[in-house]
Structure formats: structure tokens, C-alpha cells
Amino acid sequence: MKNVFLRVTKLVLLLFVAAMFTSCASTYYVHKESPSAVVDVNQYPSFYVGWLDLQDKYWEEFGYESLKSWKAVIDDQNYHGIQPYMKKNFPNKNLIFAGPEDSQFPDKGDLYIKFDVTRIDKNWNAVTGGFDDLYVDVSFIDIKSKEELYSANINTTSMGMGPQGWTFEGRLGFAVYNLCSFVYDKLNE
């Protein structure tokens, strides 16, 4: 019985140390931004949040049985990822969300938060662990003037805590959460 207690104690300690290290690391990296000036969000009562298109080309590379099943993952990351995270981050803003077919410049809202996925790196494996990366160009655009106020090339990691990290969709969800955290941080500087 004492041996089992020691093993459990070691496991709990190991998990605690791992949680400390992952919570201290950055979940997104800004590679390039222009300009680095802050956007005054107070002058924008409503945000139009663009669709996060994770690109059709990845369905075979990531082992999905069909394009339809990959599109279901894309829909899930937008409807159950981007939307609730942005609502939580910006409770006092009127948020308008793009759908999968909305590819035109928006005619509603005040500030357009635009996402362009440039690549997805699947780095995790069952033996060594690791994190997946989502590379995104993020732009904040004044809808009325169509002036780009800010743009950045970033990557978000799949760093997060919880059992969802055991699946690709779960790790992708962490990366989407970290993308929304970047938007929140940038708009609240």
C-alpha cells in the first residue's frame, strides 16, 4: 500500500510541475506587426468577427475521412470556439460573427477583426508530446473607412490544460482559445 501511495504522490507532483511550466509559457508569438500602436476600442461599439477558415486543403493531411468531416471541425472551432471566447472576452461589445460563406468585406459593425490562416503545423505525437501551431494573419480594420488599423502575423500554440489535449481537435481548440486571447490582449493594451 505504501508503494502505491508513493507512485500516486510522484505522479501528482509530476503533473503539478508540468502544469506550472505550461502555464508560465507563452501561448502566442507575434512575428511581425504593423503598426504597433494601440487601437482605441472605445470608439468601436460593435465588432464584426471574421470566420476562421482552417482551409480545405488540410483534410487529407490530417487524416480526416472526407472534406465534409474536416469542415465539421472548422465549423466547430468557429461556433463553439471563436464565438463563445469572444463573447466572454468582450461582454460589453455588440459582436457580429461571420459565417462560412461570408467572404466579402462586411457592411455591418464598426471594427472588423479579420483572420487569415497561413498554415497549421501538427507537431504533437503520442511519444514525445509537443504542441501544434496555428499561424494566422490578424487584422483590425475600421469598417467605415476600410482603413487597416493594425495587422500582425502570429502563431498560437495548442498549449492548454485538460484532457482535450489528447486529440487534435482539442489541441486545435486550445490554439483557437489562445488566438482569442491574443485579440483580447491586443485590444486591451
Query: Where is mean pLDDT largest: 20-34, 58-72, 165-179?
Result: 58-72
Interior angle at CA 163, CA 179 and CA 170, nearest 5: 40
The whole-number average pLDDT for the span 73-86 is 96
Instruction: Render pLDDT for 43-69 as a digit per residue (tens, 0 to 9).
Output: 999 999 999 999 899 998 888 999 999
Domain membership of residue 177 (yes or no) is: yes
- The pLDDT, as a whole number, for residue 93 is 96
Q: Which domain holds residue 86?
A: 27-187
- The pLDDT, as a whole number, for residue 9 is 66
Distance between CA atoms of 140 and 38, rounded to whole angstroms? 11
pLDDT-derived band at 19, boundaries 50, 70, 90: very low
Domain membership of residue 72 (yes or no) is: yes
Instruction: Specify the pTM.
Output: 0.83
Domain membership of residue 140 (yes or no) is: yes
Distance between CA atoms of 44 and 97, rounded to whole angstroms? 15
The CATH number given to whatever domain includes residue 96 is 3.40.50
Domain membership of residue 10 (yes or no) is: no
Domain membership of residue 101 (yes or no) is: yes
- The pLDDT, as a whole number, for residue 101 is 87
Domain membership of residue 36 (yes or no) is: yes
Distant-in-sequence, close-in-space partners of 46: CB < 8 Å, separation ≥ 6: 93, 94, 95, 96, 108, 109, 110, 111
Going by C-alpha positions, the residue among 27, 185, 39 that lies closest to residue 112 is 39
Domain membership of residue 20 (yes or no) is: no
How many domains does the chain divide into?
1
- Please name the residue ranges forming H helices in the chain: 2-24, 58-61, 67-77, 83-89, 168-187
Domain membership of residue 14 (yes or no) is: no
